[in-house]
Structure formats: C-alpha cells, structure tokens
Amino acid sequence: MNSSVTAHRSAILHCLADPDQQIDAADSSIESTYQYLADGVIIVKEGLIQQIGDAEQVLQLYPNIAVTEHHNKLIVPGFIDTHIHYPQTGVVASFGEQLLDWLENYTFPAEGKFSDLQHCRETAKFFIQELLKNGTTTALVFGTVHKESVEAFFDEADKQHLRMIAGKVMMDRNAPDYLTDTPQSSYDDSKELIERYHGKNRLSYAVTPRFAPTSSEQQLAMAGKLLQEYPDVYLHTHLSENKQEIAWVNELFPESKNYLDVYDRFNLLTPRSVFAHAIHLDDSECQRLAQTDSAVAFCPTSNTFLGSGLFNLKKMQRHQVKVALGTDIGGGTSFSMLQTMQEAYKVCQLAQQQMNPFKAFYLATLAGAEALQLADKIGNLAAGTEADFVILDLAATPLMEYRMKNVTSIEEQLFILMILGDDRAIAATYSFGECVYKKPA
Ligand code: GUN
Ligand code: ZN
C-alpha cells in the first residue's frame, strides 16, 4: 500500500445526510445535507481520507505535498450498488420476458456455466472492470449456487483491495437440477466461504437465498442459523418484485401473512438485510421492514425493463424504510449508477413524485453505505473514511459540454450529470487511495 500522502484538488461534493430528513431541524434547508467545495481538496494517507476542505486553506498545511489537479471535474464518493448479479453480466439485454420466464429462459442457463472455475474467473474480472469503469467501488453481489463463483469473485476483488460484499446463492427447489443445492450443502458451503472471506481485507459475506420460491423452509431455516452464528454477515435476497411471483409465494407458503413474513418467520430481517425490489408491499410489510431496520434496494432499470412495476419511494419514506439504489444487472440494463439515478427519477415522475438530484445522489452514495452499515467507511468523504472516490467529467460528451454552458449551480450540474451521464463521465476511479480505473484519453 502507498504510505505517502497525496492530495486531489477539484470541485468536491458529498452527502452528509438524507436530503429528505434534514440534519438539524433549525436549519431545514437541503444545503445542510451536503458539502460542496467549488475549489476543494482531499488529503489521502494510507488509503484513508485524512482531511477535506477548501484547497487554499488546507494546502497551506501541506507545503511539500504532491497535488493532483483535476481541472473542470467533480470529485464524489465511489458509487455503491446495493443489488447486482455478477453471473448475469452475459444476459443483460435479453429480449421479451417478465421475471419468471426471464429466469427460466435466460438466467438459469447462464448461471449453469459457473460450475466452471475458469468461466467464473473470466466473468468476475470483466464484471469488476465494468463496475470500476462506471465509478462503482462497492457492490452487494449475487454469485451463483456454485461456491466457486464466489471464490472467483472475492479473489478478483481482493487483488485490487476493493470493498465488496457477495454470497453464494442458496436454492434447493423450483430450479433446474444443475442449479440446486440442499439445505445442508448450502449451509456448509456458505459457512466455508464466510470463514474464508468474511472480514478478509475489505471483503464481507452476504447469506444469499435467491428468493422465497426457490428455497424450502428447511433451507430458509439454515439461512437464519447462519445469521445467528455470524451476526455481522449480511442477508441479501429478492422481495415482492412481480405480481406472478407474489401469487406463487402465497401458494408455496400459505401459512405466511405476506411475502415478507416468509423471511421474517426464519429471522432473516436484520439491520444488515437488503431486500431487492420491494415494489408491491402492503403497509404492514413496510412497517415491519422499518421496525427491523432492514433496507430495500430500488432497482429502477430492472423494474422497467422486466415490466415489474413502479417502486413507491414516497411510501417507503413515509414508513421510514431505508432505501438505496441497485442496478440489478442482468435484469437491469446499465452498470452506471448515473443512469440508474436517471431511471429512478423517471420512475418517480411516473408516480407523480419528484426526485431532487441531491436525493438521487444520496441514494447512489451515502444511502447505500447506510443500508450496509458502512457509513463510517464509505459513501461520503469525511476525514477518517476510506478513500474510495470518483472523478466525474462534467463535459464528458459534446452534448453535456453544450448543456453545461451557463449552468452554475451544483444542483443543476448534478441533474445534467445524472440525465446525460454514464460511463463516459467517469474520468477516473480510486479505491483505498489508489487509481483503479482511468478513462483512456
Ligand atoms: N428473483 C429471483 N431471482 C432473481 C434474479 O436473478 N433477478 C431478479 N431481478 N429477480 C429475481
Ligand atoms: Zn436481482
């Protein structure tokens, strides 16, 4: 690791709190929920942010420091993708189906190939490059049922010292034979992976039952047992995405009050649980998510692509449910969190809700960290946090450059970035203080 002290100078923006819940009631303006420095600097030492502030003031304290100047750029925290499937990189943009047929016709056959370690390694490598190219420095990642898939992913992430969370899919029914495990083998394999990887450098493990229809009660009980034995691992699954799926869950678990209750009965609702989609929830399910401090991943490009429905952000906020953003590759259509922010904005528009650009930015950064109980480490640029950050190019395309002319407020710049920006707007990505991606000139 680089033990020297480095400085990055540019405009800087990061969130301090949810723009919809101002930090201090006395100062109820949205400005109190972020820090914007028109000419700022971050000082990085041994992978951590040592100081952030106004460039001229802070640099006086470091007369001999090497300063990297990022002209006409914006430094923001690395994006956090709270729901993504690395083995589905090869099924992105598959035509014509909704969830259950899409799983059967495209996803399961693609996941079958991950019994081959070489295939796992090649896909993990390409997938991680895509994340970094899009400015995503932390993701909560589904593997496949094969434990090799998770080994390959973690080994690849660890090579670049990334903060990543992943887990082996637990799936013992309603799937092809070549993709099913058993309650005992899923427990044993998950346990082995936890022992080997959880807490290794910046890696963490997520217990990952695919979704209620593909796990027996015995398997869900094993998932609960793992959470009890390892209280600081995550729980990652899908919830209430598609109407047919929900009807199927009701048939399979007639004794459960609702979809969420299937998971609740096996003690899977915790402050480290992330449920992807959560589109069609009733009030009691929202209340229970809030009560247990569980989080949901809003995956707008997937929800529109698979025709699943419109996530109701305002309803979640009313119930004080933690919400973050996910791409859900390969149901989702872009690795870019900027594009995901754009689609979130559009989904809210369709529900007559308006999403402020600071809210979208919060969902893609600090909210992800909060959902993962990592806000002391990532998702913002406060002193003491890990130096995972992105250099955004505000004029990445001729259209962006043209549109940015005469725009002066950071709010407008941010909105243009999330509507017109994608991987082309990522000039460079840094993880733990090191450059892990630089856009070719
Ligand atoms: N529900 C169960 N499995 C999946 C999956 O792989 N993708 C999505 N979007 N939903 C699911
Ligand atoms: Zn998913």
Q: pLDDT tens for residues 170-208? A: 999 999 999 999 999 999 999 999 999 999 999 999 999
Mean pLDDT of 42-51: 98
CB 297 within 8 Å of CB 324: yes
The pick from 91, 102, 107 for probing ligand 1's pocket by mutation, whose C-beta has the most ligand atoms within 8 angstroms, reads 107
What pLDDT, on a 0 to 100 scale, did the predictor assign at position 308? 98
Say whether pLDDT at 421 is over 70.
yes
Q: Is the CB of 322 under 6 A from ligand 1?
A: no
Say whether pLDDT at 1 is over 80.
no
Task: Pick the atom of ligand 1 nearest to 241's CA.
Answer: 10
Q: Is the CB of 183 under 6 A from ligand 1?
A: no
Task: Pick the atom of ligand 1 nearest to 332's CA.
Answer: 9
Which ligand places an atom closest to the C-alpha of 83?
A: 2
Say whether pLDDT at 3 is over 70.
no
Measured distance CA(270)–CA(291) in Å, rounded: 9
Measured distance CA(329)–CA(350) in Å, rounded: 22
pLDDT 10s digits, 222-261? 999 999 999 999 999 999 999 999 999 999 999 999 999 9
Q: Is the CB of 331 under 6 A from ligand 1?
A: yes
Question: What's the CA-to-centroid distance between 193 and ligand 2, angstroms?
Answer: 21
Which residue has 């799983």 as its token pair? Answer: 103
Measured distance CA(132)–CA(148) in Å, rounded: 22
Q: Is the CB of 369 under 6 A from ligand 1?
A: no
DSSP character at residue 185: H
DSSP labels for 8-56? EEEEEEEESS-TTS-SBTTB-SGGGGEEEEEEEEEEEETTEEEEEEEHH
Would you call the peptide bond into 330 cis, given omega within 30 degrees of 0 as the criterion? Answer: yes
CB 144 within 8 Å of CB 127: no
Mean pLDDT of 149-168: 98
Res. 2 pLDDT band, cuts 50 70 90: low
Res. 29 pLDDT band, cuts 50 70 90: confident
Measured distance CA(259)–CA(110) in Å, rounded: 27
pTM over cut 0.95: yes
Q: Is the CB of 99 under 6 A from ligand 1?
A: yes
Q: Is the CB of 211 under 6 A from ligand 1?
A: yes
Q: Is the CB of 111 under 6 A from ligand 1?
A: no
pLDDT 10s digits, 88-101? 999 999 999 999 99
